[in-house]
């Protein structure tokens, strides 16, 4: 599928996406990611063939939001000058 999930496996926490440590959001994100992954695995084991692809797509979307946020923070200094 991609580097986030494949046949019989999921990347979770920092293995799926790592944020800048300065954002101080990595631990909460890793715990949320573990809880979400458990639900996705349960759905997949019950035969839901979309569960893993949806998970991968949500991770990509969350990482895109993080990158946009990070860009905004880094621009604060640029705009202030
Ligand atoms: C310098 C620094 C400062 C940070 N400060 C903050 C902060 O203030 N607040 C915050 O929220 N987040 C912070 N983070 C981020 C946060 O630590 C991580 O986002 C979080 O720990 C990720 O959790 P995880 O369980 O996904 O991965 P990890 O905590 O990296 O856990 C992965 C575990 O898997 C083990 N492992 C790896 N390979 C294998 C293998 N092949 N077999 C078995 N086990 C394996 C590793 O030894 C490790 O114990 C910081 C990160 C860094 C680097």
Report the C-alpha gap between 19 and 26 in whole angstroms: 6
Domain that holds residue 15: 5-80
Instruction: Report the atom number in ligand 1 closest to the C-alpha of 18.
Output: 19
Distance 74 CA to ligand 1 centre (A): 24
Q: Which of 4, 1, 6 is nearest to 16 (CA)?
A: 4
Q: What is the per-residue pLDDT for 22? A: 82
Average pLDDT over the chain reads 90
| 24: Cβ contacts below 8 Å, ≥ 6 apart | none
Instruction: Report the atom number in ligand 1 closest to the C-alpha of 26.
Output: 19
Count of structural domains, the chain: 1
Q: What is the per-residue pLDDT for 73? A: 83
Report the C-alpha gap between 23 and 26 in whole angstroms: 8
Q: What is the per-residue pLDDT for 21? A: 85
Q: What is the per-residue pLDDT for 13? A: 96
Where the chain has pLDDT below 70, the residues are 1, 79-81
Q: What is the pLDDT of residues 16-32, one digit of tens each?
A: 999 988 888 899 999 99
Distance 80 CA to ligand 1 centre (A): 34
Three-state SS for 12? coil
Report the C-alpha gap between 43 and 37 in whole angstroms: 10
């Amino acid at each position: 599928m991609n580097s986030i999930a494949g046949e019989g496996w999921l990347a979770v926490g920092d293995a799926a996406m790592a944020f800048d440590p300065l954002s101080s959001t990595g631990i909460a994100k890793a715990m949320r990611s573990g809880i979400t992954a458990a639900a996705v695995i349960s759905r997949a084991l019950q035969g839901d063939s979309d569960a893993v692809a949806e998970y991968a797509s949500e991770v990509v979307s969350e990482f895109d939001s993080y990158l946009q946020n990070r860009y905004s923070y880094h621009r604060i200094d640029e705009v202030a000058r």
